[in-house]
Amino acid sequence: MLLHVDGDSFFASIEQSVKPYLKGKPVVTGKERNIIAAASIEAKMRGVARGMTLWDAKKVVPDLVVLPTDYETVSLFSKRMHDIIRRYTPIVEEYGVDEAFADLTGLRRYHHTSYEGIAAKMQQDIHGELGITVTMGIAPTKTLCKIAVDKGKPAGLVSISRSRIDEFLRDVAVEDIWNVGPATAALLRKYGMQTALQFKQKPEEYIQKLLTKPGMQTWYELNGMQAILFEEQKVSYKSIGKSKTFTPPSNDKEFVFAQLVKNIENACMKARRYHQGTRTIVIYLRTKEFRSIGIEGTVERVTAYPNELIGAVRKMFERVWKPGYYRATGVFLSNLQPLNPMQPTLFENPVKLIRYTALYGAIDNLREHYGKHAVHLGASLHAQKNQHISSRGDVPLRREMLIKGETKRKRLPIPMLQVKLR
């Protein structure tokens, strides 16, 4: 049997955990962007939803507590939650910062309890040690686990046995099935399938004629046959994207370009970690009116070194830049390929390539020891500071309360930080 663990209002619940005086209050994060990024259960119950502007949310809930998103503390809680799950099973897929799939098959005798008992103990440990709640779903497949979690929100534990699959699928709309998008849902409805149960009960041959491989995988999963396998550790990517929002919006051309260069450094850093590179790069700028302007370009050979991309990116940037105010930049490295062995082009000095390889090997080692942007390109200098400078750009608590030995750029990997303020 498989288990899906999903954090309840994860970002907001973490704030309530490290600041106990916020427990029971409507809390949201996203102050730095003026848009609700996450809402606590109390806020959701009063009508606040993700994506609302702070202005609209305050009209619905005047006493709303609005906080900046503390990504560092979230990452610490995420790691700790996944570590707790691994106490009970070695087969864990970290599906997101607040989600995980785990394989419990064959572990009942080892833990001397049922699958539900294993999940309940895990749930208690997460709540007791982290001060947050999670919802758990047990089922034969990932898709059914997702449906179980939806049934159990918040803080529940729902188990779907093979004999009860039809009972749970009867009132699940096709658009609410995991991995079924709007187009597929519309197609299924057109052919008379309104619910997950109706979809499941169609003959296999019928679905094969109607849907492609992902749709067939979903059909198998709803029928209790595991078709979406575990990916315990990511070994490669088809593409890598990095973006960053900054406030207030800026009309400073070099500042916006610096933000874009920082995106490229982050994307290349991740690509090198998986020994991948690209010849195709996409950049985009987002205006303060949320309109995106993008362009695609290529370089001569596969690379993951920012220095080799900056020249092409500068030309692309000049083509899309228009005077005005911008609030975000982003970059995509697409069609990723293995990085090694890297071959010089016909007119390229191979010594230069060897030096780049040695240089970025050393840079990656420095970043491992001293922080992500301990060493960076001079072109990204203007972006190596607080991304949000305004009345909304509060500094998260984890950045204000440095521990001995920490700096603004390097933090100790402590599992969590409990702060009790009165």
Per-residue pLDDT of the chain (422 residues; tens, 9 = 90+): 999 999 999 999 999 999 999 999 999 998 877 889 899 999 999 999 988 999 999 999 999 999 988 887 888 899 999 999 999 999 999 988 999 999 999 999 999 999 999 999 999 999 999 999 999 999 999 999 999 999 999 999 999 999 999 999 999 999 999 999 999 999 999 999 999 999 999 999 999 999 999 999 999 999 999 999 887 666 667 888 898 888 788 999 999 999 999 999 999 989 988 889 888 999 999 998 888 889 999 888 888 888 888 889 999 999 999 999 998 899 999 888 887 655 555 555 666 666 777 777 787 777 777 766 677 777 777 777 656 554 445 666 666 666 555 565 555 555 444 444 43
User: Coil, strand, or helix at residue 220?
Assistant: helix
Q: Where in the chain is the domain with CATH 3.30.1490.100?
A: 240-383
**Encoding tokens for residue 400?**
């204000």
Pick from 28, 31, 27: nearest CA to 391: 31
**What residue type is 362 in one-letter code?**
A
Tell me which DSSP letter residue 224 carries. T
| Strand 276-287 with 337-338, pairing | antiparallel
Q: Where in the chain is the domain with CATH 3.40.1170.60?
A: 2-73
Cα→Cα distances 144→151, 156, 218, 222, 376, Å:
11, 15, 10, 6, 45
Question: How many Cβ atoms from other residues are within 10 Å of residue 196's Cβ?
Answer: 28
User: Coil, strand, or helix at residue 167?
Assistant: helix
Task: Give the whole-angstrom CA distance, residue 231 versus residue 208.
Answer: 25
406 among known catalytic residues: no
**Encoding tokens for residue 339?**
């990085």
Peptide bond into 20 cis (omega under 30): no
CB neighbour class for 399 (10 Å; exposed up to 12, middle 13-18, buried from 19): middle
**Encoding tokens for residue 17?**
């955990």
Model pTM score: 0.71
> Dihedrals φ, ψ of 61, to 5°?
-130, 90
Residues 21, 422: contact at Cβ < 8 Å?
A: yes
Cα→Cα distances 183→180, 197, 250, 282, Å:
8, 19, 37, 26
Task: Using alpha carbons only, give the angle 376, 382, 384 rounded to the nearest 5 degrees.
Answer: 50
> Dihedrals φ, ψ of 394, to 5°?
-60, 150
Q: Which of 99, 221, 265, 308 is catalytic?
A: 99
Task: Using alpha carbons only, give the angle 171, 185, 201 rounded to the nearest 5 degrees.
Answer: 55
- What would you report as the CA-atom Rg of the chain, rounded to the nearest whole angstrom? 24
Fold of 240-383: Dna Ligase; domain 1 (3.30.1490)
Give helix then strand counts, H and E, for the chain.
16, 13
Pick from 51, 98, 18, 134: nearest CA to 39: 51
Cα→Cα distances 339→15, 54, 280, 302, Å:
40, 44, 14, 7
**What residue type is 102 in one-letter code?**
A
Fold of 76-124+138-222: Alpha-Beta Plaits (3.30.70)
What's the maximum distance between 2 C-alpha atoms anywhere in the chain? Answer: 68
Q: Where in the chain is the domain with CATH 3.30.70?
A: 76-124+138-222
| Strand 65-67 with 27-29, pairing | parallel
* Residues 6+ positions from 13 with CB-CB distance below 8 Å: 7, 40, 41, 131, 132, 133
Dihedral of CA atoms 142, 144, 145, 147 in degrees, nearest 10, equals 130
CB neighbour class for 57 (10 Å; exposed up to 12, middle 13-18, buried from 19): buried
Taking the domain 2-73, which CATH number applies? Answer: 3.40.1170.60
Task: Give the whole-angstrom CA distance, residue 215 versus residue 207.
Answer: 8
CB neighbour class for 17 (10 Å; exposed up to 12, middle 13-18, buried from 19): buried
Tell me which DSSP letter residue 8 carries. T
